[in-house]
Structure 1
């Protein structure tokens, strides 16, 4: 989750950093490309990623405004591939 949080915030906290995240909602998959890679290096469930993000926000005990901003940033950064929305 550290790499995902950094990616959402536009930061680099891991090596290699995440260079790109693409989402296929129809497949419920998240494709992750690391910096310096030509193709996608990993996949995970979109549902799992969303659940993990929400658990992280719960643990952080954010204010309602902070939580809304964190959700907005996540949704902006972890966006579906065009044409794959459910």
Structure 2
């Protein structure tokens, strides 16, 4: 098992260096093009490369929501705790899983995912699909509206 330990204050530092040099946010995607599927549109609009200040931890969360591996390690599982926390289980490209670690509060994650969707300029259909994915994969309802 990986010896990954994420804390609220040191999460980015740990996530950024969990496996040493050569890991991080994977290659960027372009802007949505005509004829793209909804999944492709969301991937392009929400890709971490469009948001230079996005942490690798948030990049991993967005990847988890979209079913992508934007980081190395990626997130294999996210769990909400009864006291409002969020636990993440990291996984390498080789399939090696780390231990579940606290990565923050569910209310903060909900707010950050909502703000990301707004900043990405999602239209109403994209917002609806994004909100559905967040609800199904993470278990939180997004606030705000797209479009």
TM tier, smaller: 0.7 to 0.9
Instruction: List alignment gaps of at least 5 residues for structure 2.
Output: 1-57, 141-147
**What RMSD in Å do the two structures reach over aligned CA positions?**
1.5
Q: Which consecutive segments of 4 or more residues in structure 1 shift more than 3 A?
A: none
* Cα pair distance change 1:13/1:31, threshold 3 Å: same
2:73 aligned partner: 16
Report the Cα distance in structure 1 between the residues aligned to 2:85 and 2:99, rounded to whole angstroms: 15
Instruction: List alignment gaps of at least 5 residues for structure 1.
Output: 81-86
Number of residues of Structure 1 aligned to a counterpart in Structure 2: 79
Q: Which has the higher helix share?
A: 1
Report which of the two structures shows the higher radius of gyration computed on alpha carbons.
2
Q: Which has the higher strand share?
A: 1
Larger RCO (CA under 8 A, 6+ residues apart): 1
Report the Cα distance in structure 1 between the residues aligned to 2:102 and 2:116, rounded to whole angstroms: 21
TM-score, normalising length: structure 1? 0.83
TM-score, normalising length: structure 2? 0.50
Check whether the contact 2:85–2:102 (CA below 8 A) recurs between aligned residues. Answer: no
Q: Per-residue deviation at 1:61?
A: 1.2
